[in-house]
Homo-oligomer: A and B are copies of this chain.
Amino acid sequence: MKNLLVFMAISFMAVWGQAAELKSPNGSFHLSFEVKDGVPVYSLQLEGQPVILESRLGLELKGLEHLTNGFKLTKVDESSFDETWEPVWGETKEIRNHYNELAVTLEQEETERTMVIRFRLFDDGLGFRYEFPQQDNLTYFVVTDEKTQFAMADDHTAFWIPGDYDTQEYDYTISRLSEIRGLMDQAITPNASQTPFSDTGVQTALMMKTDDGLYINLHEAALIEYSCMHLELDDENMIFESHLTPDAVGNMAYMQAPTQTPWRTVIASKNAGDILLSNITLNLNDPCAYDDVSWIKPVKYIGVWWEMITGKSSWAYADLPSVKLGETDFSNAQPTGKHAANTEHVKMHIDFAAKHGFDQVLVEGWNVGWEDWFGKSKDYVFDFVTPYPDFDVDELREYAKSKGVRLMMHHETSSSVRNYERHMDEAYKFMEDNNYNAVKSGYVGDIIPRGEHHYGQWMVNHYIYAVKEAAKHKVMVNAHEAVRPTGLRRTYPNLLANESARGTEYEAFGGNKPAHTTILPFTRLIGGPMDYTPGIFEQDVSKYNPDNNSWVNTTIARQLALYVTMYSPLQMAADLPETYNKYLDALQFIKDVPVDWADTKVLEAEPGDFITYARKDKNSDNWFVGRTNDEEPRVSNIKFDFLEPGKKYVATIYSDKKDAHYKKNPKAYEIKKYVVTSKSKLSQKCAPGGGYAISLIEAQDKSETKGLKKL
């Protein structure tokens, strides 16, 4: 990676008053910082409009004087940074990291302790964090509360999910800030592990829109050795305050100076697309920690999974009330007859993957322990290496190899985390020995050690440990139910994806709101890619399992669009091969769409309504467009001016038919081909819960465009 680095440092030793200012490189953002009566406060404006009103900063400590007041500003350091770097994989080939920085040094007179707050102001927003330099009077300390405020200028519209120490798998609610309290009860739908904490607590990334059309997004970056931040709203004053995740004894974070908190981020723009395209989260993370990244490659996969999610098949092999690993004899057990992870069935999937160019086949339910894995608070629940009698590890390894396909490993931990760590080395070695290089991990259920939460410092530490240990074995990780990402994929690019939100599986658990995917990129995806597992062509779940009346709230055309609108280097075609075989023409888009990009544009975006992305393949000059649409019928109007001028492209448009509807007529899609250039435009109807997907393949010669209409 070649970097262009321009660095200027200006340091003021004597500070006039107790205030400092900072502007973004393009001058549109203005940050004000001040120590007012000993209390550090900041505010942020965008082109004269308030983004954050005056807000307090600080932390409360256990058994020590708090770091909230009694401060004096003793030093101000200003600098600038401008560097372009290349991610190992991503939405663009290059990322520019350009900011002005203000580091304010605060001395707490009574305790003689020092705290630094570092602000980085980008052209699309702000990041700031607390730092604790090495010093005599502050080494080990326990954070009992972080008091970072984000004071809102008005009763904005927010796209929120309930604050919770253990799950993010909630549908989004769109409401004014003042309405959160009244809507919290119904927003908290059941989950295997959940700990909501407040009537006005919400999770980050939090997306908001002001009445003036300003988009504001609050999140954090580089969550390392700290507790995950939620936001708690004082809904009288419209002030958000950071609310961390406690450990088993009620403390938030254990710190050893020199150290720092994660970055708190405020992305803001009049243009919704700028929020989606912001690289602030990644830029605030440390560069790649690995020397060798040649083994890290984006993945397109299918899986033995959706048939279990729908209830058609079972993860479990046997009809047993309980299992004791190492003791239960599976060879004599009564099979359920519904165990999908069996050798022949997996071979069929390998064949399908090979035929249609998928890299990997995820297989869930391959290993013993599924009979009683859920809801039992079971410690020794899986060993991650012992297959069921009907899953032939050796045979499948060789078969997959012969077909040029890999199996994808599955490590459901059942949240028994000590058990996972005890087996981790052996489990990763098993992967290496059997040609697996990617693992989907899961943390379903309450955490063991009991009392810890999915988003506390203890588990934040574990998730990173699992990724770093995986790297030793050249293994890529896709962690479900883990803490939502905060850009750590820059530092550890083998963390390909997380779930960490309400994904496609919930379509089989009652359905997601049709607008769900018009919000997720503004919230969940701000921190990193999501393994959303789209590609469901059969909406009627009862077709798979008569006892399950769920409906997948999306048209087929919109499912295709998600491969473009839900960015991830790890993409699943989640439905069953037998269903895809009925819609091979639609499947073609999934086969064509890349999983790694050189460039990304947002053509249209309104959170909660629609998003249209255009992306350029990293490995060719082809472009792909996707539009996801909410429950309203809409017309999308886009220009193809992102294409290279002078070139011709064959556009294949997969769209909703005129009368399509996510519920009434979801399978009504049509496929049309056109010739398209940078001067082309498109006006496309989108059904309720619909959308469209377009592949733009550069035409190499005239024969490819013969007979096609021009857009």
- A residues apposed to B, CB below 8 Å: 136, 139-140, 142, 247-249, 251, 254, 256-257, 321-322, 324, 372, 376-379, 418, 421-422, 425, 449-452, 458, 461, 465
Asked whether, in the complex, the Cβ of B248 is within 8 Å of the Cβ of A450, the reply is yes
Bound together, the chains give a CA A681 to CA B251 distance in angstroms of 65
Bound together, the chains give a CA A247 to CA B377 distance in angstroms of 13
Asked whether, in the complex, the Cβ of A254 is within 8 Å of the Cβ of B377, the reply is yes
Sample 12 A-B pairs with CB under 8 A, ordered by A number: A136-B321, A139-B322, A140-B378, A247-B449, A247-B451, A248-B449, A248-B451, A249-B450, A251-B450, A254-B377, A379-B461, A422-B465
Asked whether, in the complex, the Cβ of B450 is within 8 Å of the Cβ of A378, the reply is no
A318 CB, min distance to chain B CBs, angstroms = 15
Residues of B within 8 A of A251 (CB): 450
Bound together, the chains give a CA A342 to CA B136 distance in angstroms of 28
Bound together, the chains give a CA A465 to CA B379 distance in angstroms of 13
Residue from A251, A324, A372, A450 having most chain B Cβ neighbours under 10 A: A450
Asked whether, in the complex, the Cβ of A247 is within 8 Å of the Cβ of B450, the reply is yes
Residues of B within 8 A of A425 (CB): 425
Tell me the nearest residue of chain B to A142, going by C-beta.
B377
Please list the 9 inter-chain residue pairs (A to B) with the smallest Cβ-Cβ separation, ordered nearest first. Answer: A248-B451, A248-B248, A449-B449, A140-B376, A249-B451, A139-B322, A249-B450, A451-B451, A139-B321
Residues of B within 8 A of A249 (CB): 248, 450-451
A32 CB, min distance to chain B CBs, angstroms = 35
Bound together, the chains give a CA A462 to CA B256 distance in angstroms of 26
A289 CB, min distance to chain B CBs, angstroms = 13
A257 CB, min distance to chain B CBs, angstroms = 8
Residues of B within 8 A of A142 (CB): 377
A568 CB, min distance to chain B CBs, angstroms = 30
Bound together, the chains give a CA A140 to CA B371 distance in angstroms of 13
Residues of B within 8 A of A372 (CB): 139-140
Given contacts A247-B450, A458-B449, contact A376 B422 (CB under 8 A): no
Given contacts A248-B249, A249-B248, A451-B248, contact A322 B378 (CB under 8 A): no
Residues of B within 8 A of A418 (CB): 418, 421
A630 CB, min distance to chain B CBs, angstroms = 42
Tell me the nearest residue of chain B to A417, going by C-beta.
B418
Tell me the nearest residue of chain B to A450, going by C-beta.
B249
Residues of B within 8 A of A458 (CB): 449
Bound together, the chains give a CA A256 to CA B249 distance in angstroms of 27
Bound together, the chains give a CA A421 to CA B469 distance in angstroms of 14
Bound together, the chains give a CA A421 to CA B417 distance in angstroms of 12
Partner of A140, one of B256, B322, B449: B322
A288 CB, min distance to chain B CBs, angstroms = 19
A230 CB, min distance to chain B CBs, angstroms = 21
A426 CB, min distance to chain B CBs, angstroms = 10
Bound together, the chains give a CA A251 to CA B449 distance in angstroms of 12
A284 CB, min distance to chain B CBs, angstroms = 21
Residues of B within 8 A of A461 (CB): 379
Residues of B within 8 A of A256 (CB): 322, 324, 376, 378
Residues of B within 8 A of A422 (CB): 421, 465
Residues of B within 8 A of A247 (CB): 449-451
Bound together, the chains give a CA A225 to CA B53 distance in angstroms of 55
A334 CB, min distance to chain B CBs, angstroms = 15
Residues of B within 8 A of A377 (CB): 140, 142, 254
Residues of B within 8 A of A140 (CB): 322, 372, 376-378
Bound together, the chains give a CA A324 to CA B418 distance in angstroms of 24
A539 CB, min distance to chain B CBs, angstroms = 36
Bound together, the chains give a CA A379 to CA B256 distance in angstroms of 10
A204 CB, min distance to chain B CBs, angstroms = 25
Residues of B within 8 A of A139 (CB): 321-322, 372
Bound together, the chains give a CA A141 to CA B301 distance in angstroms of 39
A250 CB, min distance to chain B CBs, angstroms = 9
A507 CB, min distance to chain B CBs, angstroms = 30
Residues of B within 8 A of A324 (CB): 256
Bound together, the chains give a CA A465 to CA B324 distance in angstroms of 17
Tell me the nearest residue of chain B to A135, going by C-beta.
B321
Bound together, the chains give a CA A353 to CA B465 distance in angstroms of 42
Bound together, the chains give a CA A251 to CA B377 distance in angstroms of 12
Partner of A421, one of B254, B321, B421, B451: B421
18 new A-B contacts, CB < 8 A, other than A421-B421, A449-B451, are A136-B321, A139-B372, A140-B376, A142-B377, A247-B449, A247-B451, A248-B249, A248-B450, A248-B451, A249-B450, A251-B450, A254-B378, A256-B322, A256-B378, A257-B322, A421-B422, A449-B449, A449-B452
Bound together, the chains give a CA A418 to CA B424 distance in angstroms of 13
Bound together, the chains give a CA A142 to CA B448 distance in angstroms of 14
Residues of B within 8 A of A378 (CB): 140, 254, 256
Residues of B within 8 A of A421 (CB): 418, 421-422
A489 CB, min distance to chain B CBs, angstroms = 23
Bound together, the chains give a CA A42 to CA B518 distance in angstroms of 68
Bound together, the chains give a CA A256 to CA B376 distance in angstroms of 9
A315 CB, min distance to chain B CBs, angstroms = 18
A270 CB, min distance to chain B CBs, angstroms = 44
Tell me the nearest residue of chain B to A254, going by C-beta.
B377
Residues of B within 8 A of A322 (CB): 139-140, 256-257
A295 CB, min distance to chain B CBs, angstroms = 23
Bound together, the chains give a CA A422 to CA B418 distance in angstroms of 10
Bound together, the chains give a CA A642 to CA B550 distance in angstroms of 82
Bound together, the chains give a CA A372 to CA B449 distance in angstroms of 26
A460 CB, min distance to chain B CBs, angstroms = 12
Residues of B within 8 A of A248 (CB): 248-249, 449-452
Tell me the nearest residue of chain B to A452, going by C-beta.
B449
Residues of B within 8 A of A450 (CB): 247-249, 251
Bound together, the chains give a CA A465 to CA B140 distance in angstroms of 30
Tell me the nearest residue of chain B to A469, going by C-beta.
B422
Bound together, the chains give a CA A480 to CA B111 distance in angstroms of 38
A704 CB, min distance to chain B CBs, angstroms = 56
Tell me the nearest residue of chain B to A375, going by C-beta.
B140
Residues of B within 8 A of A452 (CB): 248, 449
A352 CB, min distance to chain B CBs, angstroms = 38
Tell me the nearest residue of chain B to A425, going by C-beta.
B425
